[in-house]
Amino acid sequence: MNDRINSLPLLVILPLLLLPAFLQAGPDWKSEINAKLKNNDYEAARLLLETTLPQLEKSERQEALALLPFVLNKLGLAEEEKKALIDYFEEAGQNQPVLEFLDFSVFSQVLEYLGHWKETFPLIDNLNFMVPTSAPEDSIPEAIRLGFDLSTGAYYKLVLENQPLEGGFWEKGPHLVELPVPYSFEQPFSLNLDVFLKTEAITIKKRIQLEFKVETWNLGGQDLVVQRQNARPVKNLQGEVALYIGDKLIFKATKYVQKKIPLQVTIPPPNPPGTKPYLVPQKDQYPFHGVSILDAISALSKVIQDWKKKPATTTPATYEKKPEIIFNFINPEKPEVRSRITIKIKPEKAEPYAR
């Protein structure tokens, strides 16, 4: 009787120890999804993908994300298909999934489907600030420039804080968007730039949030007096232009009157010896002697040959990519206040747009 009682805990513990191994040895989702797609059982395939996706690692997750919009397309669920396409492209980018586990009859259909969307889905990638290489370190930018790559040609519209800025057509490739710099930096804030992209297959809305982090301190006292003495005199103010979006002051330009305008006169070099001012020199006078046509052609031919031998000069980069912009700011109305501004890009996931 006692032996039977002592063996009961072992019977309870043993199944608990074997449970993780049983779960790990469960059915392979790739084999299952392949079988369901071969049998055109798309509803079951959708359920399997949606329940499996949260548990998958990165490489397998990309394959499941690629199959889900294909399945939704087969089910005729257009709106869900567009959302699934956005999830796939924003997470996987232009990387092509392997999908080696699919039967060829299914693989060819999926490959054709993804190939079509790869050519027609307007993906914004490689988003960064574009800062002129000539700009001094920590200086206030003259404009906020955003650079990115667009995966395909698309009609576009830019809207900043619900105010339309511009629109037109963008070709496939790199692009640069220029935004005005806000004038006031007294407290942290953010600006929302909505980018609408339309192709023949889909229209999406991509929100790019610019987050302004503001660190402010007050100099006051003697430090301010010293800085005022060393500062350059302020020019006479003539007028100001301010741009508001809603209640936010986005841009402010100030025009000043310059009392003294420097005058620079270009003095031409002296005439060659033996000539009078504004008199055409004689042809036989050095260095204005004539050159035969044959000699000119020969010299030109040599110049072209030498030019071809020279390596192509590399044009220096005009802008450099930066994930954030940092600069210092002095409020002209409150010179004792100093601010350090950090601007960061926070892109949100795109969403289907229809109007």
Structure confidence by residue, pLDDT tens digits, 172-188: 999 999 998 887 787 89
Q: Is the pLDDT of residue 15 over 60?
A: no
Residue 215's H or E segment, with its range, is: strand 203-218
Report residue 293 CA to chain centroid gap. 55
- Domain limits of the chain? 2-120, 124-220+321-352
The arithmetic mean of pLDDT across residues 151-162, rounded, is 95
Top mean pLDDT of 146-150, 180-184, 213-217 is at 146-150
Tokens found for residue 222: 């003697």
Exposure letters 7-44 (e unless 16+ CB within 10 A, then b) = eeeeeeeeeeeeeeeeeeeeeebbeebbebbeeeebee
For the 124-220+321-352 domain, the top CATH level (class) is: mainly beta
Residue scoring higher pLDDT (261 or 321): 321
**Environment class of 292 (CB within 10 Å of its CB; exposed 0-12, middle 13-18, buried 19+):** exposed
SS3 5: helix
Prior bond of 347 cis (ω within 30°): no
pTM above 0.75, yes or no: no
Helix then strand then coil, % of the chain, to nearest 5: 35, 30, 35
